[in-house]
Structure 1
């Protein structure tokens, strides 16, 4: 992607030197999640990039790392996916035939056969632990009889807005922790002094 719009383009005369101290990029659609950039080019002319190899994206999931360890006659292979990638298909074996099971995401085991395998030998691929899906749903917060529904993936900004608007807390400071697999929030009273009652959390089924 080539950035052709922005404050610099609109306000700095072409050919005028400018000193850039910092370049900040953020994910505009999923705040707080990782942002992956293939190429970054700074210059006066457009540049062309040729992708020499396709990324590992099984079932559309971006894999940023793979861990492999030898266990007896097999291997333990862990795929590290970005942004809570899940529903991975099982590994396939080139030119092998599926004897039982399936390599589809819904399957936990598949058995392969191949003419080049030692007689009576098959190869099985099994799923030990499935990748964690992104947290979804919502929950309710209660304070002094007042309730507000909060999305399970609410940002710190959204949590602050909901708490201040619906629970009569005054100004609060909110920090969010965790990943797309599960979040936690710290809420600090900033304008109301003294001891405050605990905020109750209710599950929404």
Structure 2
């Protein structure tokens, strides 16, 4: 059995929280909702993903992501150390398996903020995981949010919009859909789904 965080006593399996996955198209507000939720409820553990993407200004290794080389990512995948992984916009992202298991075993609510490919992989490996889809109020609003970031090239934006069409079509694969018209309301709804009060 994996060690539990900070030496916590393992919780019996029938009392452990379900792993919750939050997914949705780029620009829908996943990070904003999660930040708001964790500000109010820091006990919810947000998995830190490994990525081959270069850090953006202000991002810190081990806080926002574990920034790894292509070779390091290859090893993580080959050794089965990732619960899920996906490639997006030329970069790979993955969720370290051991840390998720450790927190769930300790009874800590765990949230993964991942893309559609990753959500599908989690569903395959952990059938009882709760998959939550975060949808935009409208397609027009999603386009506005993506183009308004000002951090990406037109080519990257077009790839993100193409991926968003695919992700929106996959909404029925999820257990629950939340529409992001209000960050505060969506955060409350997500916490309720996770049984965090």
The TM-score normalised by the length of structure 1 is 0.24
Q: 1 or 2 for the larger relative contact order (CA 8 Å, sep ≥6)?
A: 2
The structure in which a higher percent of residues are strand is: 1
The TM-score normalised by the length of structure 2 is 0.24
Q: Which has the larger radius of gyration?
A: 1
